[in-house]
Amino acid sequence: MSYILILYYSRYGATAEMARLIARGVEEVPDIEARLRTVPPVSTVCEATEESIPEAGAPYANLDDLRQCAGLALGSPTRFGNMAAPLKYFVDGTSSLWLAGDLREKPAAVFTSTSSMHGGQETTLLSMMLPLMHHGMLMLGLPYSETDLLHTASGGTPYGPSHLAGADSDRPLSDSEKRLCQALGRRLAETAVKLRGAD
């Protein structure tokens, strides 16, 4: 069964919750499934290593998860207006896939969570697209036919779903943030299935 890889980093759980909702959207589409994967934190002590299996949540991603996916949703909490280092560290290790063109013509999308309303949702989303475009992936956002975009009072952007987690990073996802996550999952899965049919 082909799958959409939902690859994310999450420190406090908000981005992980978004990832699960995107997976739910993917699973609404026949003939394709969702695969959730995360990445370990990175340490300022270069020698520090994590256990190969996380204590809880999605397994850690490996390059094969990415190489064999039919599409990708990449998610990160916003860190100083950009993606978090653990996810960037993983992405920086994907040169072999870039050289082989393994991700070319595959649909991809991005999602993020911030503490503050104007703390960089769009900058993070747009900058997360850059390495995926270098890989030749086909970037998808959210169209305004998702009418939640017209009324956002927290997260939700045409560049991808976002979430306003609040100063303590404990604000639950709003209903419209949830719907936009699911809509993105559906859109990615439908696009991947269509592209596969066009092969």
Ligand X SMILES: Cc1cc2nc3c(=O)[nH]c(=O)nc-3n(C[C@H](O)[C@H](O)[C@H](O)COP(=O)(O)O)c2cc1C
Q: Which is nearer to ligand X, 28 or 170 (CB)?
A: 170
Q: Which is nearer to ligand X, 81 or 172 (CB)?
A: 81
Task: Determine contact, residues 107/135, Cβ cutoff 8 Å.
Answer: no
Give least dist CB 8 to ligand X, A: 8
Cα 66 to Cα 108: distance, rounded to the nearest angstrom: 11
Give the pairing of strands 3-8 and 33-38: parallel
**Which part of the chain contacts ligand X (CB under 6 A), choosing from 97-105, 116-124, 151-159, 187-195?**
116-124
Q: Which is nearer to ligand X, 43 or 116 (CB)?
A: 116
Q: Is 13 in the site for ligand X (CB under 6 A)?
A: yes
| Residue 78-97 contact track with ligand X, rule CB under 6 A, x = bound | xxxx----------------
Q: Which is nearer to ligand X, 152 or 169 (CB)?
A: 169
The single residue among 61, 137, 149, 165 that binds ligand X, judged by CB under 6 A, is 165
Q: Is 127 in the site for ligand X (CB under 6 A)?
A: no
Which among 163, 176, 138 has a CA at the least distance from the CA of 12?
A: 163
Give the pairing of strands 82-83 and 71-79: antiparallel
Q: Is 12 in the site for ligand X (CB under 6 A)?
A: yes
Cα 15 to Cα 115: distance, rounded to the nearest angstrom: 12
The residues, ordered by sequence, that sit 6+ positions from 82 with a Cβ below 8 Å of its Cβ are 88, 120, 123, 124, 127
Q: Is 160 in the site for ligand X (CB under 6 A)?
A: no
Distance of CA 74 to the CA centre of its chain: 2
Residue nearest to ligand X (CB): 119
Task: Determine contact, residues 27/56, Cβ cutoff 8 Å.
Answer: no
**Which part of the chain contacts ligand X (CB under 6 A), choosing from 44-52, 76-84, 136-144, 148-156?**
76-84
Residues forming contacts to ligand X in the complex (CB under 6 A) are 10-16, 77-81, 113-116, 119-120, 165, 169
